[in-house]
Amino acid sequence: MVTDECDPLEATVVTAQRLFIAIPLLPDLAQQLCQMLPQYGDDRFGSWQAERNLHLTLLFLGEQGEAEPVIELMEQSAAACHHLDFTADSLALLPAQNAARQLWAFQPQPNSVLMQLQTQLAERFTAAGLYASSRAYLPHITLLRGNAACPLPLPLEPVDGFALSVNRMVLYRSSAEALPDGGEWRHYEPLHTTYLSV
């Protein structure tokens, strides 16, 4: 007998994907950041982020199955959040877990509007079981994933502050490809954009 019914033992396999929510940088600001660092623009120091990949992460969600629950909660959260402006005014050279170094531009003020936005998102996504982190949030824009064999020269040159206006959040899917030199090429694919309440 021929039947169109599916085998009840046959399940749909959902591939896990690494997701994160971030604030994308507008092209003019991304270009401004890259132009701040001509003295470090040497590939010997590591893998520099392409301008189009520069972003400020709000929540790293890690391995997720479906993106739809994340998107739905993003929309609910955005409706309760107003657009914001803030200024970052420093660079920091910080150690990474793999003993290499990262060059970060960041704004660490604990009471900023940016921190309030991130806290609201973290609370909502934690309650929904979509986010868990034991690390304190440090707002940053990664400019370089450094080469431990060729560290950046110190001290860092001071840079002028830059402003960031935030009216949207983007859900990204992160994937990585191994490079012949042992490094890693990272690709960030935007999956969904949601706009904050005016």
- The per-residue pLDDT for range 41-58, each reduced to its tens digit, is 667 777 778 888 889 999
Average pLDDT, the chain: 78
Quote the pLDDT of residue 61.
94
Cis peptide before 108 (omega within 30 of 0): no
User: Where does residue 120 fall: left (phi above 0), alpha (psi -120 to 50 degrees), or beta otherwise?
Assistant: alpha
Compute the average pLDDT of residues 120-128: 94
- Which is more confident, 181 or 135? 135
* Cα 19 to Cα 9: distance, rounded to the nearest angstrom: 29
Place of tokens 């904050």: 196
Sign for the pseudo-dihedral over CA of 49, 52, 53, 56: positive
Of 30-39, 112-121, 122-131, 133-142, highest mean pLDDT: 122-131
Q: What is the pTM of this model?
A: 0.80
Minimum mean pLDDT range among 12-21, 23-32, 57-66 = 12-21
Quote the pLDDT of residue 27.
83
Quote the pLDDT of residue 145.
76
* Cα 60 to Cα 174: distance, rounded to the nearest angstrom: 10
**Total Cβ atoms within 10 A of residue 20:** 19
- Which is more confident, 192 or 154? 192
Q: How many CA atoms lie within 13 A of 188 on its CB side?
A: 20
Compute the average pLDDT of residues 3-30: 69
Of 51-55, 94-98, 120-124, 143-147, highest mean pLDDT: 120-124
Burial of residue 1 (number of CB atoms within 10 Å: 0-12, 13-18, 19+) = exposed
* Cα 112 to Cα 14: distance, rounded to the nearest angstrom: 38
* Cα 67 to Cα 100: distance, rounded to the nearest angstrom: 32
